[in-house]
Every structure is written in structure tokens, then in C-alpha cells.
Amino acid sequence: MQSLSPRAQALGAAVLCLVLAVAAGLAVDSRLDRHWILRGLTVFLAICCAALLLTDQSRRLRQIITAIGLAMFGLIIPWSQTTWSKPPEIEFALQVATDAKNAAEKASSSSVTVANVKTAAEARGGAIGSFPTEKSPQVHGADAYPVIVRAKRDQGRPWACVSFTGLTAKVRPC
């Protein structure tokens, strides 16, 4: 069995990076900000590293550096972005967004109200708005979008922000 040429390996690595980047991007819930600019930049850098491997086979050190860059930009960063995109507070906010949308649809409404989000959050044991403290007794993020959603009533951060346009939710850290 004959081994592949370095150029074929570099081309295969570039294709693998593209496939992995697209799969990692699509693995994240569509209601989340997927950081498309950062994802696009990492794919571009991975392709640049693959192109360097493809074109310059003269120095071993350059091959090692570009291979490390290819692994970082093509594998590690897309995987870590996908893994870290849903911490517990974001998972809770996504569940609340789903429940609020279902409640609005059940009521034959064309949009989700802040009251729908509040009811959904409270039904799951959470609350909306910032947690009032002695330092900041005024509650923020409970009257209009984006609404602050807390997974536990008696706990402040971490929290997530939920906003709706019609029945379409957008969830992000805030």
C-alpha cells in the first residue's frame, strides 16, 4: 500500500476542516448566536494552513507549524465553540423559549409576550429580570425584550437573555 503524497494529505485535511466546521456550526441550536464571524475566520485560517502545507513542502519546521495551526483552527476551536455554546443557563433559556412559544401558539397569538416568557420561566423554577440586591435593588430586564432569564429564583448570575420577534426566539448570554 502506497502512502498519500503530502499534497493529497493537505488537501484532505482542508476538506476535513470544512466538513467539521459546517457540522459544528449546524450542531448548535438555531436560536443561539452561532458566532458565524468567528467560525468563518477559523475556517479561513484552517484553509490557509492547509494551503501552506499544500504549496510549501521545503522546511520541516514550517510543515509542523502549519499542521499545528490546521489542528487548532480546523479541529480544536470549532469543537470547543460547539461544546461551550450551551452552558446550563443557556439550556434553561432555550427550554423557556420553547415553552413560551408553545404557550403563544396555544393561545393563537402571532407573537410571544414577556408574560409568556415569565410564566414559562416560573413554571420551570426560574425567574425573569435581574436579581435585586442591596447594591442594585431595581430589577432590570423584566419588562421588555431582551428579557433576562434566571434558572433559579434566588440566584443572580449566570443568566441568559431571551428576545422574540413574532414567534422566533433569539437566546444569548448577557
Per-residue pLDDT of the chain (174 residues; tens, 9 = 90+): 457 777 777 778 777 777 777 777 777 766 666 567 777 787 788 777 777 777 766 677 777 777 787 778 777 888 777 777 677 788 888 888 989 999 888 888 888 888 888 889 889 888 888 777 778 777 776 777 888 888 888 877 778 888 888 888 888 787
Plot region of 65 (φ>0 → left; ψ -120 to 50 → alpha; else → beta): alpha
Let me know whether 98 and 135 are in one domain.
yes
Domain that includes residue 22, residue range:
6-83
C-alpha cell, 77: 476551536
> Are both 104 and 159 inside the same structural domain?
yes
Same domain, 125 and 138: yes
If asked whether residues 24 and 96 sit together in one domain, one would say: no
Last residue of a domain, one of 83, 112, 133: 83
Is position 1 within any domain? no
Cα distance between residue 23 and residue 174, in whole Å: 26
Report which DSSP code applies to 173: E
Burial class (CB in 10 A: 0-12, 13-18, 19+), 27: middle
Q: Within a 10 A sphere around the Cβ of 15, how many other Cβ atoms?
A: 12
In a domain, 59, yes or no: yes
Residues 103 and 114: beta-carbon distance below 8 Å: no
| Residue-level pLDDT at 35 | 67
pLDDT at position 44, please?
A: 82
- Say what the pTM is: 0.63
Q: In terms of domains, do 32 and 101 share one?
A: no
**How many angstroms separate the CA atoms of 169 and 162, rounded?**
7
Q: What per-residue confidence (pLDDT) applies to 162?
A: 87
pLDDT of amino acid 30: 65
Q: Are 167 and 93 in a shared domain?
A: yes
State whether 75 and 95 are in the same domain.
no
Q: Quick one: 48 and 114 in the same domain?
A: no
Does residue 64 sit in the same domain as residue 128? Answer: no
Helix axes 114-123, 88-106, angle to 10 degrees: 120
Domain contains 166: yes
Do 161 and 92 belong to one domain? yes
pLDDT at 165: 83
Residues 110 and 165: beta-carbon distance below 8 Å = no
Distant-in-sequence, close-in-space partners of 106: CB < 8 Å, separation ≥ 6: none
Split into its structural domains, the chain has a count of: 2
